[in-house]
């Protein structure tokens, strides 16, 4: 049996334009790394957290270990574990940071203890871990992080997760401006009721996006990338939203939307050259509004978490 | 040049579960027939209407001729026409009766005058004709009637119509109970604002339905066939709704939902035998609530209107 394992779990873009709360996809980078080592006794402890000073060392209050505890409890497994967490993206980045740590935790322990649980069996525990940070059940980061690819959450009750095919040549450029937006705050500003015509337009665009992805119709994807529920409110929280959007579209982007609850934004394009040109243009645009930022270029990651050396 | 033409345009099922206002498909039967004959002068007149006593003989107030008038005006064509309309479904049936007449009208005149207009060019005039009966612009009957197949209206402004692929073995059973529901009345009872969680669930199911149709995943289609906006209200207008739904599902139907604004209801199934068994069961169920009804069995009609002898 292994004594120690190290797992990388990817960042994810959730919401995806009209897919508010129901769509997400995984990136190749950035991502979080969780190491788990067997120890004597049956204590779960966090040895070290790199990349963040704000996260709890209390195992039941940290997403990476809370997901592990949920898993171990559910299968009545008693084991000692020492966990090291490397956060490669900020809390409140809009890139599914807590989901990545939560998924990495359960994925690592499943491999370490050779439990042979399926991803579908791991899902509920990854969700239980993530609830700690977001305060409510949202699968649109956890599901694409765990399963990889582009994911539709058709329904939350019962949970129904559908993997959606997508064009092979879809590149994603992500801009992560160095400000923090708390998911819970970004949710409070949303209206509890939606005008019926907006609900209809949202369903039309969500349907169009899914049709465009499966049939690899880039122009249909582009036309569908409009959110009527969250983005009109949340863009006010991102000072560089308008300039970044204009810069992305002017440089060949198919779309430019908020990733998760922001401040990160993302654009699809159809070549690496376009993706790189967009990255450079939107980084400059954000800086023109006084915001330093990171950019990432990635295809959609179809694997999800992986064991690394 | 022809002197006379006769066109059949199909009934359509709109709304389609979660596709409220944005989806529809064409049936092989029933459908309306419009005959148009060239006459001297430049008067458009209605010679005879079969199958309905409620429709106007005033050409600008009848959908079949209003669509023709819109077309002729737009292209500045002066011609005399005598029109005969055969309604094979009732007004307020929920089967797109007015859309069928409107589409048949423009399709007939396009052929009769050899105008060689594309269906996309005919669309706006068919919509102009249909506005007369519904009072507002809704393309979810006109578009599938004209283009055939299963249609997604991604957006109304601008109008963006997407043909969606579907499983070849999809059979539709329609029940048309002999009561009338006015579209305008069925719209008045809807809420103007939708709880956010319902708007999200609607987008999830609409997306799931589109994914299920394109990937030919019958179980996903079935799970997705739930409407959160119109059906919870409108089922109250259909006395046999519950018994019909139970009878359909108990007899192998994939779904059972309201067609358009009702009172017609429809079920998908995957074989002719299932479709026939469902037809018989739901007709009996409706009768148990005191409602006589017609049933129709049809695959999705991928052609739209056709010239007949």
Domains of chain B: 4-164+302-307 (3.30.230.10), 171-299 (3.30.70.890)
C-beta of residue A9 within 8 angstroms of C-beta of residue A101? yes
Average pLDDT value for chain A: 95
More confident residue, A133 or B88: B88
Q: Quote the DSSP letter at residue B300.
A: B
Residue B2 confidence (pLDDT) = 67
User: Which residue in B has a C-alpha nearest to residue A203's C-alpha?
Assistant: B203
In this structure, how many other beta carbons lie within 10 angstroms of the beta carbon of residue A276? 16
Of A23, A155, A201, Cβ closest to residue B201? A155
User: How far apart are the C-alpha atoms of B306 and A148, rounded to whole Å?
Assistant: 46
CB contact under 8 A, B204 and A229: no
Give B238→chain A minimum CA distance, Å. 23
Residue B54 confidence (pLDDT) = 85
Average pLDDT value for chain B: 95
Residue A138 confidence (pLDDT) = 85
CB contact under 8 A, A196 and B196: no
* Chain A residues whose beta carbon lies within 8 Å of the beta carbon of residue B229: 196, 199-200
Residue A64 confidence (pLDDT) = 95
Residue A89 confidence (pLDDT) = 86
Mean pLDDT computed over A94-99: 93
pLDDT band for position B181 (50/70/90)?
Answer: confident
Helix (H) or strand (E) holding B97: helix B97-112
Q: In the predicted model, is pLDDT for residue B103 greater than 90?
A: yes
Which of B138, B200, B223 has the most A C-beta neighbours within 10 Å, making it the best mutation to test the interface with A? Answer: B200
Q: In the predicted model, is pLDDT for residue A180 greater than 90?
A: no
Q: In the predicted model, is pLDDT for residue A15 greater than 80?
A: yes
Q: What is the largest CA-CA distance in chain B?
A: 60
Name every residue whose Cβ is closer than 8 Å to that of residue B47 and which is 6 or more positions away in sequence. B82, B83, B84
Of A152, A196, A229, Cβ closest to residue B207? A152
- Which residues on chain B place their C-beta less than 8 Å from a C-beta of chain A? 18-23, 152-156, 160, 162, 164-165, 190-196, 198-211, 214-215, 220, 223-224, 229
Of B162, B193, B208, Cβ closest to residue A208? B162
| The two structure tokens encoding residue A89 | 């993206």
CB contact under 8 A, A192 and B191: no
> For B70-84, B124-138, B202-216, B295-309, which range has the lowest pLDDT when averaged over its residues?
B124-138
pLDDT band for position A145 (50/70/90)?
Answer: very high
C-beta of residue B188 within 8 angstroms of C-beta of residue A183? no
C-beta of residue A22 within 8 angstroms of C-beta of residue B207? yes
What's the whole-model pTM score?
0.96
User: Which residue in B has a C-alpha nearest to residue A22's C-alpha?
Assistant: B204
Helix (H) or strand (E) holding B304: none
Question: pLDDT tens-digit profile of B7-61?
Answer: 999 999 999 999 999 999 999 999 999 999 999 999 999 999 999 888 999 999 9
Give B23→chain A minimum CA distance, Å. 9
CB contact under 8 A, B22 and A207: yes
Q: In the predicted model, is pLDDT for residue B287 greater than 70?
A: yes
B183 flagged as catalytic:
yes
User: How far apart are the C-alpha atoms of B192 and A37, rounded to whole Å?
Assistant: 56
Residue B253 confidence (pLDDT) = 98
* Chain A residues whose beta carbon lies within 8 Å of the beta carbon of residue B23: 207
The 10 Å CB-count burial string (b at 16+, else e) for A97-119 is bbbbbbbbbbbbbbbbbeeebeb
Give B216→chain A minimum CA distance, Å. 12
Question: pLDDT tens-digit profile of A243-283?
Answer: 999 999 999 999 999 999 999 999 999 999 999 999 999 99
Question: pLDDT tens-digit profile of B135-161?
Answer: 777 899 999 999 999 999 999 999 999
User: Which residue in B has a C-alpha nearest to residue A213's C-alpha?
Assistant: B211
In the numeric block, the tokens 């935790």 are attached to A105
Residue A2 confidence (pLDDT) = 67
A183 flagged as catalytic:
yes
CB contact under 8 A, B22 and A204: yes
Q: In the predicted model, is pLDDT for residue A135 greater than 80?
A: no
SS (H, E, C) chain A: CCCEEEEEEEEEEECCCCCCCCEEEEEEEEEEEEEEEEECCCCEEEEEEECCCCCCCCHHHCHHHHHHHHHHHHCCCCCEEEEEEECCCCCCCCCCHHHHHHHHHHHHHHHHCCCCCCHHHHHHHHHHHHHHHHCCCCCCCHHHHHHCCEEEEEEECCEEEEEECCCCCCEEEEEEECCCCCHHHHHHCCCCEEEHHHHHHHHHHHHHHHHHHHCCCHHHHHHHCCCCCCHHHHHHHCCCHHHHHHHHHHCCCCCCEECCCCCCEEEEECCHHHHHHHHHHHHHHHHHCCCCEEEEEEEECCCCCEEEC
User: How far apart are the C-alpha atoms of B258 and A280, rounded to whole Å?
Assistant: 51
Of A153, A190, A214, Cβ closest to residue B215? A214
Mean pLDDT computed over A43-51: 95
Of A12, A65, A173, A183, which one is the catalytic site residue? A183
């Amino acid at each position: 049996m292994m004594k120690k394992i190290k797992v990388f779990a990817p960042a994810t873009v959730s919401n995806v334009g009209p897919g508010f709360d129901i769509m997400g996809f995984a990136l190749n980078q950035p991502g979080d790394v969780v190491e788990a080592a067997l120890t004597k006794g049956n204590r779960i402890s966090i040895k070290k957290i790199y990349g963040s000073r704000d996260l709890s060392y209390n195992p039941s209050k940290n997403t990476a270990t809370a997901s592990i505890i949920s898993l171990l409890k559910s299968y009545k497994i008693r084991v000692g574990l020492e966990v090291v967490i490397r956060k490669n993206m900020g809390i409140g980045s809009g890139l599914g940071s807590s989901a990545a740590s939560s998924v990495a935790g359960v994925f690592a322990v499943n491999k370490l203890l050779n439990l042979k649980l399926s991803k579908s069996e791991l899902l509920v525990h990854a969700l239980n871990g993530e609830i700690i940070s977001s305060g409510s059940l949202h699968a649109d980061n956890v599901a694409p992080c765990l399963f990889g690819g582009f994911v539709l959450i058709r329904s939350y009750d019962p949970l129904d997760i559908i993997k959606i095919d997508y064009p092979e040549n879809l590149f994603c450029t992500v801009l992560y401006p160095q400000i923090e937006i708390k998911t819970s705050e970004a949710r409070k500003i949303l209206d509890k009721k939606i005008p019926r015509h907006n609900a209809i337009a949202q369903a039309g665009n969500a349907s169009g996006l899914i049709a465009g992805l499966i049939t690899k119709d880039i122009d249909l994807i582009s036309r569908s990338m409009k959110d009527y529920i969250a983005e009109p409110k949340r863009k006010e929280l991102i000072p560089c939203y308008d300039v970044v959007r204009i810069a992305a579209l002017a440089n060949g982007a198919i779309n430019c939307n908020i990733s998760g609850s922001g401040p990160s934004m993302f654009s699809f394009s159809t070549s690496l050259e376009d993706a790189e040109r967009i990255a450079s243009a939107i980084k400059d645009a954000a800086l023109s509004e006084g915001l330093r930022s990171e950019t990432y270029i990635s295809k959609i990651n179809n694997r999800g978490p992986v064991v690394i050396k």
